Amino acid sequence: MPRPPKCRRVEQFPQFTYFKPSGIPMAELPEVHLTVEELEAVRLRDLEGLEYEECGEKMSVSRPTFHRIITAARKKIAGALVEGSALRVTGGNFRLAKYELACKVCGHHWEDIICCRRTRCPVCNANDWRRVDDDK
C-alpha cells in the first residue's frame, strides 16, 4: 500500500481559479482540473524562475516529487490550451504558508496566511499591510 502524499506548501491561494477560451459557453467546454499545488509549481518554476531544488524546498517536497508535480501541471495546461478546454484550479493536498505581517496603518504585527483580497489587520481592519520578512 503506498504511503499517503505529503501535504505541499503553497505560498498563497490563487486569485483566479477558472480560465476558458473566449466565445464558447462554459456548458459546452470540457474541463481540465489543475490542483492548487500544481499551479504553485508552475508559478515557482516558470514565473519566478527558481531551480527545481529551490522549488522543492519552498513546497516542502523532494526535487523528484516537485518534478512529477510540475510535469503533470504542464501536461494539463498544454492539453487545455491546445484542445480548447476550460482550466479549473481546485483541490489538491496542500497547506497555505503563514507569514509575519505588519499593518502599515496601526503598526500591529500578526501571523496569517496571505490572501490579497481578504487579508486585513485584526486590530484596525485595514487592507494596507506588508510581509515583515520583506524588510530583510
What are the cell numbers at 23?
466565445
CA 94 – CA 99 distance, rounded (Å): 16
Does the pTM surpass 0.85? The reply is no
Q: Taking a C-beta distance cutoff of 8 angstroms, is the pair 5, 93 a contact? A: yes
Tell me the per-residue pLDDT of 63-111, one tens digit each, with 9 for 90 and over. 999 999 999 999 999 999 999 999 999 999 998 888 899 999 999 999 8
Q: Using the predicted structure, report yes or no on whether residue 36 has a pLDDT greater than 80.
A: yes
- Domains of the chain: total: 2
- Note whether 62 and 79 are same-domain residues: yes
Residue 27: CATH number of its domain: 1.10.10
Q: Are residues 45 and 106 in the same domain?
A: no
Identify whether residues 79 and 108 lie together within a single domain. Answer: no
**Domain membership flag for residue 3:** no
Contact between residue 98 and residue 9 where contact means Cβ atoms under 8 Å apart:
no
Range 14-19 average pLDDT: 92
Asked if 66 contacts 56 with a C-beta cutoff of 8 angstroms, the reply is: yes
